[in-house]
Every structure is written in C-alpha cells, then in structure tokens.
C-alpha cells in the first residue's frame, strides 16, 4: 500500500531502519544518533507513522517484526513538553493517531508470520494502553479482536488473546455474556497455543474487574482446568508451566472461584508435583499453585480432608531432592561462594512451602502430618532424608511455635543427635535447626535449654568441614543474641577458645568472617563479663585491622573485624578500653581514608563502627567528628535513584542487578535503587545516635542536618523507613540546640519557628498509617523538648485540622473492617493482614493521645478553644462500640481534667456519663482510663467535680473486686481505681458519706505493685492515715506491712516517697506492738532481702 508520508521522508526512514538493524557497530551507532537527534527530537509523529507502515508493508517478516518492536519501544518513550512528560504516540496529532491505529490493525489482520503477528499485537497493546490512560476511544479495536478470536487462523486467535492479556481494560466494560463466550471459545480451542493465551488473558481480565463481577465467571473453571489434561498426558512441561502460572494468578485473585472443585483440584495438583517425569519448574509451579491457597484462603485449605497431609508429604519429598551428583558433599564443602542462588531448586521450593504452610495454616494443622514422617526420616539410612527432616523443623518452627514450645524436649531429642551425624550436610542442617529454633523460641531455648544447645553446637566448631564450622558459628549468633549475660557466662571460655581457633588457624576466609561475627554477638550479649577476654582478643583484631588494605578479598574480613572490635568496646566500656579507644578510632580513620571503591563493604561497616565509638567515648569522640560526618551526611542526603524504564533490555538488565526494585506503572516500569535507600535510612539512624549521645556538642551540625536531611526525609515517599528515621531525628536535633543554648534561647525559638509548620504539614500528608503514628510521636517529642507555650494559635489550629482528618480516616477504616467481617469467610481479606492493620490503627490512636497529652500539658487552657472543634467527633468516639475509639476519647477526658482543672467543668455534660460508664467497661484499658480520669477530677477539678467523684466510689470499689482484678491485663485498672479512691478521700472527703467505713474498705484494695504513677498517691494517702493514727490502719497493721513491703520490693514507690512510707510503717508497727521478725517469717522468702534492707 502507498505510504502517507512524502518520498523525502520514506527514503531516509528506510535507510535509518537498515542502519539500526546493521551488524556493524559503527553503522548502527550512526543510525542511533540519527534516531535520537533527528527523528525523535524533530519528527516523532512521522517516525511512528513510518514504522507502522513498515509493520504492515515491510519487505520480509524479519523487517516487519523489527519495525513492530521498534514502534512499541518508541511509542512508549517519554518526552517532556510544556513541563509535562508525555509518551510519543499520545502526543501525535489526532489524524496521525487514527492512521497509525488503522495501519496496525490492518497489519495484524493480514500478517502471515506468527512471530511477527505477536510483535504487531504487542505494538497494538501499547497504543491501546496509552489511549485508555488518556480516556481516548478506539472503538474499532475491540471488534477487530473479537473477529480475530474467531478467525480460521489459529495464530490470529492467539494474537487476539495476547492483546487482551496486556490490555484487559478494553473488554472490562463489555457485556458479561459476550466476554464469557469469547473466553469459553478460547478455552475449548483446538489449538493448544490459543488455549494457553486464553488462560493468560482471562487471568489478566479477572484481575482488572471488580470482585462482585468475578462470580459470574466462576462457571468457566472446569473448562480452564480441562486445558491441563492433554498437556499432562503429553508431558509438555513448558506449556504446562505457563498454564499453571495463569492458575496461580487466578488463585491469588479469587480463591473462592475454586471452592466448589477444591478437593479435585488438590488431587490433580498433587499429581503434578509427584510426577518426576515433568520438569522441576513445572512441579514447583504446581506446588506454588496449591500453596497460593494457603496464602489466600487458609480456611478452605484447613477444611479440605487431604490438602495439608498431601502438601506436607510432597514438600518433604521435594526437600530430599538435594546433592544429586555430590553424595559425599565434597563439591558442596569445597565451594567458597556461600551466596549461590538456589531458589529454583526443588529442595528450596519444598522448604519455603513448608514455612508458608506453617505460618498460614498453623501448628494445629501442619504439625501432625509433618511429625508423622520426621521420626522415620531422622532414622533413615539416606542422609537426604535426615537433612530434609531437620530442614523441615527449621521451616515450620515459627508458624507452629505455640504448639511446638511445649514439645521442645522431644524435638531436641530428634535434632541434637544430628550434630554428630556422619554426613556433613546433616550436621549443617542440625546446626540450622538449632539456630532457627533459638530465634523462633527465643527466651525458652536460652533459659531452659542452654546446656543442651550450647554443649551440642560448641564441639561442632571443630568439625573438619569449613561449611559446617561456619554454620555452627552462625547458629550461635541466633542463640547468643537472645541470651542474657548470666546464661552465657559459664560457656564463654569454651566458646571463645574454639572461635579463636577458627580465627587464628588456617581457616577459609568465610569461616574467619563468621567467627568474628559470632564473637561480636557474644560480646554484645555478655557485656561486662566479656572483659576478661579483652586482652587476648583486641591485639588479634588490631593485627587484622593494621594489615595493608590493598587486598580486595580481605575487605569483608576487615569489616567484620571492625564490627567485632567496636562491639567489644561497647561491651567492656570506656574505662576498660583505656588508650585503646584512641588507637581504635585512628585505625578506623586510616581504613576510611583507604576506602574508594563504592562496593567496598568496609564503607558501610565503618559508619556503624563510628556510631559505636561515639557511644563508648561520649564527648571524647568530638575531635574525630569532622572526619566522620562528611561521608555520613553524603549518604543521609542522597536523593532517590529512580528511573523510568520503557525498554525491555533495560528492564531485563535491571532485573538481574541486585539492589533494585521494579514497579509496574501504566505499561512501563519504574526502577528504584533500594540499596541506596537502605544506606540513606542507616545514615539517618546514625545521625540520631550522634545527636542523642553528643547533645549540645552536636549543635554545629544541627542546621545543616535539619534543613537538608531531616525535614526533606519526612517527605521521602520512596521509603517508609527513611521517613521514620527522620521523624526520630528531629526531636534530637531540637534537643541539641536546647542543650547548647538553653531552653529560653533565641536560637531554639527560631529553629522551632521554622520547623513546627513543616511537622504539622507532614501530619496532614503522611499516607501510611504506621508511619503517621511515628509522625505524631515526632511532633509530641518535639513539643516536649521546646516546652511551655511553644505553640501559636495557628499551630494549634493546624494540629486540630490534621488530627480531625486522621480520626475520620480511622473511622472509615474501622467501618470498612466491619463490612469486611460480614462477608463470607472465603471472600474476606487476609486475617493476618487485618490484624496488622488493627494494630497499626491502635498504635496511631495511642500516639495521637500522647500528642494531645503533651499539648494540654504545655499549653493548658489555651488549647481548649481549638480542641472544642473536635467535640462532635469526640462524642462519636466515646459512644462507639469500638473499644479503641472509646479509649482514645477517655484519654482526652483525662488530659482536659488533668491540665485544665476547674475549666473542664464546662464540658461535664460530655465527660461525667462516659467516666461512670467507663468504670464498668469490659476492656481493662478503658476501665483504667476512666478510673484515672475520676482521680484527676478529684485532684484537679475543684469543688465543681467534688459531688460527682464522691458518687463514683461504689463503682471504683466494684472495679477492684472483679474476678480477674489482679491478673496481668486487669491489674492496672484495679490499681488506678485504688489510687483514685485515695484521691477522692484526700481531696473531697467532705462529700463522701461514712468516710471511716470507706477508708476501712479502701485499705483492702491495696497493694499497688505495677503502676508506678498510681502507687505514690495510694501510699501517700496511706501514710497520712498512719500519721493521723486512723483506726482503720491501727487495726490492719500486719496487712499494711505486707502491702508496703510489696510496693517497695516492686519499686513502684521510690526515693523520698518510699522513705516516708517506710518510716510511717515502722512507726505503725511500734504503735501496734508488732514484731518485724515475726511478720517477716510469714512473708515469701524472695521478699526478705527487701525487709532486711529497709526495715532492719
């Protein structure tokens, strides 16, 4: 067909395409220069028209295919015009866009070569995507594709479904029955490639439609599953693998689609995993398909009679598929590369699936079928079975923690003998199991089983195989980082003797690196007890660190030695370190000067080492700060490395590169260099440490760090962790200014003035709930630093606006969860994710409460006019069925009463009823807040509140007498009720009828041994009663002695308060003629040291 372009354009375009396709580098380079500088820059519309014509009319299939690929890449290329980035195709004139569309459709309809037609379809899909994004119609496309899906040519039908896959939105709004018929025809197509393309298109379409619309397509599932039957019969692994990928998509999107056939699907899927004639990837995809249901529909899996048993069996079978050509593990043991990617191997797929099953289904379902096999596998003559059994224990221990914890004795009986196994890989797996269990059962393993674990692992450090030595040392890290120093101390000699042997012998480098990491962890946990090894270890570390830095292979070893040395310094302290402190920072400085390669691990290790030395040396570190800060500031102020990728080669290259995350956006990908973001976060965390440790001495850096790092970091939306670290940094920087210049200084006032508005803006802008909580914490900690009356009326108004928005959004999320809970179980969101969301919301409201508390504390009654804007919202919260909302509102009542005193009476209509109701709330935290509120009303509310608080005494007593009143969750509510009765009796006794009877009953509500805020009020009032020789205390002296000893022992009363209470109690015992020794004899033995210390 004739070209629409003038001849003087067509000829150069042909020449350009020949040049771009040339095998000669120089020719191709000239053509690329011309493409970018002439065609794209000056006539992109003619370029795209010409390419579309070449796709239709090019001389041979290769030329047409090349033109289609080039068209797709260039059509999606972004150019900035009028300050707005736009893709080349969508920027073309309307007439040219229409011509290109029609030309591509003609090319697709008449193309005879399958490969070229697929590439043409990709080009059409790119144009369709851009038009859809711009809300521009392409009515001819859908009709053409529906026609193509019915074509006599199988490749036409396949091509239509391929386009549907990449642009499912074009069929989303069509009538359901029409779409269903098209897909049904595709699933039943005689051509295998068409059936697979239809599956993939359906998965993409299914993802694009609303959940409510998905149900009407559930009936297609039998036809979808039937596609797999001939593929399995033919053992066509590659095609079967593609089909399973489409099924995985569907299982992720809508597991309920499979509910009616689930048991049959489980049986069929298991038959794929079992079939060793199929390729590994196909078997793993079948396992992934079934495992997806554990993620998306755990209850459906739990209810199926065979799902868990069969899945566990197949996972364990896959886990034995290891070391096929390495029976004695010689090859495995000789490798120095411990980071080989094994994620595509069967045994790793089995382990990962076991972990998912345990975490998603729980121990109640996974433990029994697993341990049905493990004892037999552990006694098997095959090392692969024993290895698989141990790795299974590692995989399930986190998810089955609650049930396994009570059976640890038996599990250790299975695991511990493996550390003496004849096969090195079994010993390695035994170390792995003990290490994983030390993390998953942290606390219990260390306290109850330390002898079993350490006496088993320590000898393995002397194994002949380096891989086993290294892994034994690594498992010790897991154990020791969770262990108290008292537990480790008896084993330190043995541990360090063997670890030092690894360090000083002719060990492989990776063994030495791991030995250093383990020693560092032990030092961190053992703290001062590590001091006796200091003289032996530190010279060795200095010897490593003083070696020439040119040897690249030694960089990680040096980095580990730096880490170890500085953690030891932190453990033993400045005094023990002595002059070595200066020597160590000088060595670190020399290493820093030698680091020039950005990939040198010593660079990032150094930053942490400097932070530790600052903590050790305090202000003695200041002379070294000028050398430490520049690289740290450079990392902390780094901008996000973000790239828009529209080239397939670029995308493929970046997928292979570590430290990048690819996000699909409108048909393209955005690449974000996550490794740089991790470095930025780490650097800001270290700045927090410097500001905390150096306080006023950090002042010279504050303005730069605040302006260029902390404030921009609060809006760094590429990475939540950076925003959180920045939020922790701001209050520390303000504190540095305060310490340097004083709380009333002009410098503090000026920097706060320029900062507070930005903090308030961030409260209004932060999108992530968990990070928003951190922003509120940043704000209230900053207000606390700056102090009294630091907020202007405008700032208080802005805070209320941000808080109102946060509270309304919380209510919307809560209401959304209530609606979600009403759905059928299989249609609900993931239960764990919902639990995390609830926890995030509770944390947010708690931090918002602290922000209100801090503002009321520092602003007092001046905050009330702005706070009144929230009263309608407060009323909704206090009357909500949601206990979290009630708690938030009760805490607000407490703050108004505590910091505004008698002024709070004007809100009594909003406060008094909820306080009384709160005293009987089923939620202990809410009873606690209500009881505390009554107490502060008694103490601070003045005469206006006196009758109200006197009338609450009965409910307060009731709150102390509940069946679970002294249990962990309830005891704080009980103790606050006790303290509040004391406050009423002290401040409002004139309104209390029969005071003496109330006092007598009140003594029975003691002791207060958990709440160190409530205790001083309760025991202060008790002291008054003793000093007045009140009859109630004179007749209850033995009980009072017990209550006082309990509080002193628990340290809920300390200092002058404790001294006054103790002296009053001694005088009570003298007045009542009681003998302390006799009373002490009746006390628990653990209380006797407290009695001897304070009452002797």
Please write the tens of the pLDDT for every residue from 832-864: 788 889 999 999 999 999 999 999 999 999 999
Distance, CA of 399 to CA of 408 (rounded, Å): 15
DSSP 423: S
Q: Which two tokens stand for residue 981?
A: 């009765």
Reported as a pLDDT band with limits 50, 70 and 90, residue 820 is confident
Quote the pLDDT of residue 670: 60
Euclidean distance between CA atoms 473 and 478, whole angstroms: 9
**H helices present in 787-863, as ranges:** 793-821, 831-859
pLDDT tens by residue, 122-161: 899 889 888 888 888 888 888 888 888 888 888 889 988 9
Furthest-apart CA atoms within the chain: distance in Å = 121
Contacts of 114 (CB under 8 A, 6+ apart): 155, 158
Residue 626, token pair as written in the block: 């000028």
Round to whole Å and give the CA distance between 997 and 1030: 11
- Joined together, the tokens standing for residue 577 give 């370190």
8 Å CB contact between 622 and 698: no
User: What does the pLDDT look like over 84-116, one tens digit per residue?
Assistant: 778 899 989 999 999 999 999 999 988 888 889
Structure tokens at 664: 């699909």
Q: What is the strand order of the sheet 642-645 is part of?
A: 642-645, 668-673, 660-665
Q: What are phi and psi of 673, to 5 degrees?
A: -80, 95
**Residue predicted with more confidence, 735 or 676:** 735
The CA distance from 256 to 218, in Å, is 9
Tell me the percentage of the chain whose pLDDT exceeds 70: 96
Predicted confidence at residue 676, as pLDDT, reads 74
Place of tokens 């002009």: 746
Between CA 609 and CA 561 the distance in angstroms is: 10
3-state secondary structure of 773: helix
d(CA 268, CA 504): 56
* pLDDT of 664: 58
Choice between 388 and 653, residue whose per-residue pLDDT is larger: 388
Hey, what are 53's tokens? 């014509």
Whose CA is closest to 649, among 82, 70, 39? 70
Report the range of poorest mean pLDDT among 338-342, 985-989, 1072-1076: 338-342
CA atoms of 70 and 75, how far apart (whole Å): 8
User: How do 642-645 and 660-665 pair as beta strands?
Assistant: unpaired
Give the SS3 label for residue 1026: helix
Residue written as token pair 């002490």: 1080
Question: Tell me, what's the pLDDT at 375?
Answer: 94
Name the phi and psi angles at 773, rounded to 5: -60, -40
Beta bridge partners of 87: 78
Distance CA 567, CA 615 (A): 11
- What is d(CA 42, CA 12) in angstroms, rounded to the nearest whole number? 14
Between CA 24 and CA 14 the distance in angstroms is 17
CA-atom Rg of the chain in angstroms: 36
Mind listing the pLDDT tens digit for each residue in 577-626?
889 999 999 999 988 888 888 888 888 899 899 999 999 999 999 999 99
* Contact status, residue 241 vs residue 201, Cβ threshold 8 Å: no
Q: What is the pLDDT of residues 926-937, one digit of tens each?
A: 999 999 999 999
Q: Which two tokens stand for residue 415?
A: 């695991």
**Cis peptide leading into residue 998 (ω within 30°):** no
Nearest to 465 by CA among 431, 511, 509: 511
pTM across the whole model:
0.82
Instruction: Return d(Cα 849, Cα 863) in angstroms, integer.
Output: 14
Give me 435's structure tokens: 């290490």
The DSSP 8-state label assigned to residue 39 in this structure reads I
Can you give the pLDDT at residue 87?
86
Separation between Cα atoms, residue 789 and residue 460, nearest integer Å:
63
pLDDT for res 661: 62
Q: Is the dihedral of CA 605, 608, 613, 619 positive or negative?
A: positive
Predicted confidence at residue 870, as pLDDT, reads 96
With contact defined as beta carbons under 8 Å apart, do 329 and 425 qualify? yes
The single-letter DSSP state of residue 98 is H
pLDDT tens track for 191-219: 999 999 999 999 999 988 888 888 889 99
State yes or no: pLDDT of 2 exceeds 70.
yes
Would you state the structure tokens that stand for residue 625, as one six-digit string? 């700060």
The Cα–Cα gap between 224 and 198 comes to: 9
Q: Which residue has the higher pLDDT, 470 or 670?
A: 470
Torsions phi, psi for 1090 (to 5 deg): -65, -40
Q: Please, what is the end-to-end C-alpha distance for the chain in angstroms?
A: 111
What number is the average pLDDT over the span 47-68? 91
Q: What is the pLDDT of residues 511-566, one digit of tens each?
A: 999 999 999 999 999 888 888 888 888 998 998 888 876 677 888 888 999 999 99
Q: Do residues 731 and 781 make contact, with C-beta atoms less than 8 angstroms apart? A: yes
> Which residue from 909, 876, 881 is spatially nearest to 821, judged by alpha carbons?
881
Residue holding tokens 């700060």?
625
Task: Work out the number of other CB atoms within 10 angstroms of the CB of residue 764.
Answer: 16
Q: Where are the alpha helices (DSSP H) in 362-458?
A: 363-371, 374-378, 383-396, 401-404, 408-415, 424-440, 444-448, 450-457
By three-state DSSP, how is residue 123 classified? helix
Amino acid 1096: pLDDT: 75
Residue 166 pLDDT: 82
CA-to-CA dists, residue 56 to 90, 158, 961, angstroms: 20, 19, 87
Query: Which tokens sit at 510?
Result: 């990776």
* 3-state class (DSSP) for residue 1074: coil
> What 3-state DSSP class applies to 661?
strand
d(CA 180, CA 217): 7
Q: Name the band, by pLDDT with cuts 50, 70 and 90, for residue 827.
A: low
Mean pLDDT of the chain: 91
Tokens 């260390």 belong to which residue? 446
- Residue 308: per-residue pLDDT: 97
pLDDT, residue 654, reads 57
pLDDT of residue 643: 59
Confirm if 85 and 120 have CB atoms less than 8 A apart.
Answer: no
Give tens-digit pLDDT for 674-687. Answer: 667 888 999 999 99
């Amino acid at each position: 067909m004739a070209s629409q372009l003038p001849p003087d354009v067509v000829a150069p375009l042909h020449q350009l395409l020949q040049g771009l396709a040339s095998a000669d580098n120089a020719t191709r380079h000239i053509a690329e220069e011309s493409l970018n500088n002439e065609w794209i820059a000056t006539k992109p519309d003619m370029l795209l028209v010409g390419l579309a014509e070449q796709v239709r009319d090019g001389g041979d299939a290769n030329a047409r295919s090349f033109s289609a690929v080039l068209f797709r890449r260039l059509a999606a290329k972004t150019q900035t015009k009028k300050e707005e980035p736009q893709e080349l195709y969508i920027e073309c004139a309307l007439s040219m866009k229409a011509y290109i569309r029609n030309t591509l459709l003609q090319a697709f309809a008449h193309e005879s070569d399958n490969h070229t037609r697929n590439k043409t379809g990709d080009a059409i899909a790119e144009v369709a995507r851009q038009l859809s994004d711009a809300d521009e119609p392409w009515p001819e496309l859908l009709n053409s594709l529906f026609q193509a899906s019915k074509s006599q040519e199988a490749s036409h039908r396949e091509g239509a479904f391929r386009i549907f896959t990449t642009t499912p939105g074009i069929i989303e709004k069509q009538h359901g029955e029409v779409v269903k018929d098209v897909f049904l025809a595709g699933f039943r197509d005689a051509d295998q490639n068409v059936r697979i393309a239809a599956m993939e298109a359906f998965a993409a379409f299914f993802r694009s439609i609303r959940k409510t619309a998905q149900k009407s397509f559930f009936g297609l599932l039998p036809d979808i599953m039937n596609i797999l039957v001939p593929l399995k019969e033919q053992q066509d692994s590659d095609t079967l693998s593609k089909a399973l990928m489409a099924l995985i998509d569907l299982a992720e999107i809508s597991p309920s689609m499979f509910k009616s056939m689930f048991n049959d699907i489980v049986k069929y899927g298991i038959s794929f995993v079992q079939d060793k004639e199929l390729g590994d990837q196909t078997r793993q995809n079948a396992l992934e398909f079934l495992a997806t249901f554990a993620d998306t529909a755990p209850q459906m899996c739990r209810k199926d009679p065979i799902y868990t048993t069969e899945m566990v069996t197949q996972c364990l079978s896959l886990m034995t598929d290891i070391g096929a050509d390495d029976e004695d593990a010689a090859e495995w043991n000789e490798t120095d590369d411990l980071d080989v990617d094994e994620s595509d191997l069967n045994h790793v797929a089995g382990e990962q699936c076991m972990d998912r099953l345990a975490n998603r289904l729980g121990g109640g379902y996974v433990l029994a079928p697993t341990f049905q096999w493990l004892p037999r596998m552990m006694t098997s003559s095959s090392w692969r079975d024993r290895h698989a059994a141990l790795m299974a224990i590692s995989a399930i221990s986190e998810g089955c923690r609650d049930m396994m914890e009570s059976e640890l004795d038996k599990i250790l009986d299975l695991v511990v003998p493996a550390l003496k196994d004849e096969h090195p890989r079994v010993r390695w797996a035994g170390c792995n199991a003990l290490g994983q269990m030390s993390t998953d059962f942290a606390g219990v393993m260390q306290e109850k089983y330390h002898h079993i674990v350490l006496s088993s692992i320590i000898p393995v450090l002397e194994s002949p195989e380096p891989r086993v030595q290294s892994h034994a040392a690594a498992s010790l890290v897991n154990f020791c980082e969770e262990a108290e120093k008292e537990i480790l101390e008896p084993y330190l000699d043995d541990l360090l003797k063997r670890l030092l042997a690894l360090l000083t012998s002719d060990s492989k480098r990776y063994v030495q690196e791991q030995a250093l990491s383990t020693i560092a962890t032990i030092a961190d946990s053992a703290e001062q007890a590590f001091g006796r090894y200091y003289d032996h270890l530190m010279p060795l570390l200095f010897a490593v660190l003083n070696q020439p830095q040119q040897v690249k292979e030694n960089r990680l070893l040096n980095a580990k030695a730096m880490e170890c040395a500085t953690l030891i310094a932190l453990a033993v302290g400045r005094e023990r370190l002595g002059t070595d402190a200066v020597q160590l920072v000088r060595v670190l400085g020399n290493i820093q000067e030698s680091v020039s390669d950005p990939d040198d691990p010593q660079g990032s290790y150094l930053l942490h080492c400097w932070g530790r030395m600052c903590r050790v040396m305090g202000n003695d570190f200041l002379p070294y700060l000028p050398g430490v800060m520049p690289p740290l500031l450079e990392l902390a102020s780094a901008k996000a490395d973000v790239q828009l990728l529209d080239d397939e080669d670029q995308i493929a290259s970046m997928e292979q590169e570590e430290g990048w995350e690819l996000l699909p956006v409108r048909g393209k990908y955005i690449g974000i260099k996550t490794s740089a973001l991790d470095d930025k976060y780490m650097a800001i965390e270290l700045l927090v440490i410097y500001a905390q440790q150096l306080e006023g001495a950090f002042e010279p850096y504050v303005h730069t760090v605040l302006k260029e790092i902390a404030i921009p970091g609060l809006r760094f939306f590429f990475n939540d962790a950076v925003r959180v670290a920045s939020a922790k940094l701001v209050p520390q920087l303000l504190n540095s200014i305060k310490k340097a210049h004083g709380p009333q200084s002009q410098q503090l006032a000026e920097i706060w003035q320029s900062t507070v508005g930005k903090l308030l803006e961030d409260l209004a802008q932060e999108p992530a709930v968990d990070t928003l909580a951190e922003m509120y914490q940043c704000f209230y900690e900053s207000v606390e630093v700056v102090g009294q009356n630091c907020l202007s009326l405008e700032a208080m108004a802005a805070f209320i606006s941000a808080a109102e928005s946060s509270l309304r959004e919380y209510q919307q999320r809560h209401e959304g969860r209530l609606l979600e809970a009403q759905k059928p179980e299989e249609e609900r969101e993931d239960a764990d994710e919902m639990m995390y969301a609830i926890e995030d919301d509770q944390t947010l409201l708690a931090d918002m409460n602290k922000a209100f508390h801090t503002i009321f504390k520092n602003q007092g009654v001046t905050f009330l006019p702005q706070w009144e804007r929230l009263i309608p919202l407060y009323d909704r919260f206090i009357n909500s069925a949601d206990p979290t909302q009630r708690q938030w509102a009760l805490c607000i009542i407490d703050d108004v009463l505590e910091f505004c005193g008698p002024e709070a009476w004007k809100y009594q209509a909003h406060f008094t009823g909820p306080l009384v109701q709160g005293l009987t709330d089923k939620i202990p935290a809410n009873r606690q807040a209500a009881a505390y509120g009554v107490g502060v009303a008694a103490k601070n509310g003045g005469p206006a509140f006196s009758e109200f608080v006197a009338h609450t005494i009965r409910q307060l007593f009731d709150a102390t007498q509940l069946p679970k009143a002294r249990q962990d969750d309830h005891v704080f509510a009980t103790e606050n009720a006790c303290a509040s009765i004391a406050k009423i009796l002290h401040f409002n006794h004139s309104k209390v009828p029969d005071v003496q009877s109330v006092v007598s009953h009140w003594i029975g509500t003691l002791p207060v041994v958990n709440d160190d805020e409530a205790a001083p009020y309760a025991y202060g009032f008790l002291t008054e009663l003793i000093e007045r020789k009140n009859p109630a205390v004179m007749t209850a002296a033995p009980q009072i002695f017990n209550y006082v000893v309990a509080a002193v022992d628990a340290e809920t009363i300390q200092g002058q308060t404790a001294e006054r209470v103790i002296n009053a109690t001694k005088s009570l015992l003298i007045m009542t003629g009681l003998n302390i020794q006799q009373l002490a004899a009746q006390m628990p033995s653990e209380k006797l040291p407290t009695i001897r210390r304070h009452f002797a």
